[in-house]
Amino acid sequence: MDTFKNLEIDPQITQILGDFNLPDELGFGTVMSPIMIEMDYADGKWGQMKLIPYRQLTLDPTAKVLHYGQEIFEGMKAYRANGNGPFLFRPLENIKRFNLSAKRMAMPEVDEELALEGLRAMVSFSKDLIPIQSEASLYIRPFMIATDIHLGMKPSETFKFMIVASPSQAYFKSDSVKVWIETDNIRAAEGGIGAAKTGGNYAASLLAMIAAKEKGYDQVLWLDAKNKVNIEEMSGMNFFAVYENNVIKTPKLTQTILHGVTRKSVIELAKHKGYQVEETSISYLELLKDIQSGKCTECFACGTAVIITPIKSLASESTTAQLANDYGNITKELRQELLDLQEGRSEDPFGWRLSV
Ligand code: COI
């Protein structure tokens, strides 16, 4: 059994986990592990980290998070496919990004080792709830909210850090998605908060997502706010396009794109497999033309929740382009390689897997 030297463990935890019945149908992010991590910040420092029974929060109606959106989160997974593991995948990458988000949103950073201990504890105690089918996992959601009770517009001085976890099946039911290129609304602008994983970025994407769904599309692809030309990201997913001659392109990182851990891993994996990866500006009009002419052969989205998800078509107000392959070979290969690594079926030359 792991030791968790910085963690106070509620004595009810073992019984609560023992009494918990995991439903057959999990869906994504619906069923929650009956335990959670909680840690409060006040007087300029973090208090004791605690593993406690999952419970409702009691918040004052004037808590700052409810009015001014001072909030950040992460998404990560623990894997136990075929009874291997459990494994966490590059957890420090997520913790570092959490702290970058914290900085941008004027919130306190968490100690990396302490956050890792909290994650390990959630995985270790929830071990028997982690599904063993490939592509299913324990989806883990660390997050932090501002809790000052005050309607004045100033940064909070008290915060709550929590980790909850959801035994989940794959995010998308369908194999490939239809994508709407949004040329009207924007997701994030230079100097804003696009690279921070904060709720406001996701809230900002919802209206366009509703409109895209009404038109028969599954996801929205965002363009740069200034010129509405270059492809950025897909709210919860980064974008990749596969070209002829083993070239793979993805939008270069800016302040307006979330720096995806899966994105980074796909780039490193693809390079390792001998593909030429270009982090570059991708004009959506060029891309649509390249798909129509057959120069671009596959497109996919990637993210922790969605793994690697093939794209079958992209459309904007003016043009539609259908990928020749709903689910191209390179997309398939990278997806399988990534899952094999995450789920512990392959060697891990990168040292990305952390056994819990
Ligand atoms: C993740 O991939 O973990 C995300 O944050 C996407 C989420 C909004 C479902």
Percentage of the residues of the chain whose pLDDT score is greater than 90: 95
Atom 3 of ligand 1 has which residue's CA nearest to it?
75
Q: Among positive and negative, which fits the CA dihedral 226, 258, 74, 170?
A: positive
Token pair of 166, please? 């959801």
Average pLDDT over residues 277-281: 98
**Rounded CA gap, 11 and 124, in Å?**
16
Given a cut of 60, whether residue 270 has pLDDT beyond it is: yes
Instruction: Quote the pLDDT of residue 83.
Output: 87
Instruction: Quote the pLDDT of residue 173.
Output: 75
Axis-axis angle for helices 91-104, 112-125 (nearest 10):
130
Ligand 1 midpoint to CA 293 (Å): 33
Ligand 1 midpoint to CA 303 (Å): 7
**Rounded CA gap, 297 and 21, in Å?**
45
For residue 197, the SS3 value is: coil
Local confidence band at 229 (pLDDT 50, 70, 90 cut-offs) = very high
Ligand 1: does its nearest atom lie under 6 Å from the Cβ of 305? Answer: yes
Instruction: Quote the pLDDT of residue 62.
Output: 98
Atom 7 of ligand 1 has which residue's CA nearest to it?
236
Ligand 1: does its nearest atom lie under 6 Å from the Cβ of 304? Answer: yes
Q: Among positive and negative, which fits the CA dihedral 190, 191, 194, 200?
A: negative
Q: In angstroms, what CA-CA distances link 134 with 81, 120, 306, 354? A: 5, 21, 13, 18
Given a cut of 70, whether residue 145 has pLDDT beyond it is: yes
Cβ atoms 217, 180 nearer than 8 A: yes
**Rounded CA gap, 314 and 326, in Å?**
12
CATH homologous superfamily of 177-342 equals: D-amino Acid Aminotransferase, subunit A, domain 2 (3.20.10.10)
Local confidence band at 199 (pLDDT 50, 70, 90 cut-offs) = very high
Given a cut of 90, whether residue 287 has pLDDT beyond it is: yes
Given a cut of 60, whether residue 1 has pLDDT beyond it is: no
Q: In angstroms, what CA-CA distances link 195 with 13, 27, 103, 202, 260? A: 36, 28, 11, 12, 9
- What lies within 8 Å, CB to CB, of 70 at 6+ separation is 64, 105, 106, 107, 145, 146, 155, 156
Given a cut of 70, whether residue 248 has pLDDT beyond it is: yes
| DSSP secondary structure letters along 280-344 | E--BHHHHHHHHHHTSEEEEEEEETTTEEEEEEEEE-SS-EEE-S-SS-HHHHHHHHHHHHHHTT
Local confidence band at 326 (pLDDT 50, 70, 90 cut-offs) = confident
Cβ atoms 49, 315 nearer than 8 A: no
Ligand 1: does its nearest atom lie under 6 Å from the Cβ of 256? Answer: no
Instruction: Quote the pLDDT of residue 3.
Output: 85
Ligand 1 midpoint to CA 266 (Å): 16
Which amino acid type is present at position 215?
K
Mean of per-residue pLDDT scores for the chain: 96
Average pLDDT over residues 84-113: 97
The burial of 86, by beta-carbon neighbours within 10 Å (0-12 exposed, 13-18 middle, 19 or more buried), is given as: buried
Using left for φ > 0, alpha for ψ between -120 and 50, and beta otherwise, residue 205 falls in alpha
Ligand 1 atom with the shortest distance to the CA of 306: 2
Helix runs in the chain, H state only: 13-19, 64-68, 91-104, 112-125, 199-203, 206-214, 261-272, 284-293, 329-342
Ligand 1: does its nearest atom lie under 6 Å from the Cβ of 75? Answer: yes
pLDDT in tens, 24-68: 999 999 999 999 999 999 999 999 999 999 999 999 999 999 999
Local confidence band at 325 (pLDDT 50, 70, 90 cut-offs) = confident
- What lies within 8 Å, CB to CB, of 300 at 6+ separation is 239, 240, 242, 308, 309, 310, 311, 328, 331, 334, 335
Instruction: Quote the pLDDT of residue 64.
Output: 97
pLDDT in tens, 165-179: 999 998 887 789 999
Domain edges within the chain? 7-168, 177-342
C-alpha angle 91/82/78, rounded to 5°?
A: 15
Local confidence band at 2 (pLDDT 50, 70, 90 cut-offs) = low
**Rounded CA gap, 25 and 338, in Å?**
25
The burial of 3, by beta-carbon neighbours within 10 Å (0-12 exposed, 13-18 middle, 19 or more buried), is given as: exposed
Ligand 1 atom with the shortest distance to the CA of 303: 2
- Report, at the CATH architecture level, how domain 7-168 is classified: 2-Layer Sandwich (3.30)
Ligand 1: does its nearest atom lie under 6 Å from the Cβ of 303? Answer: yes
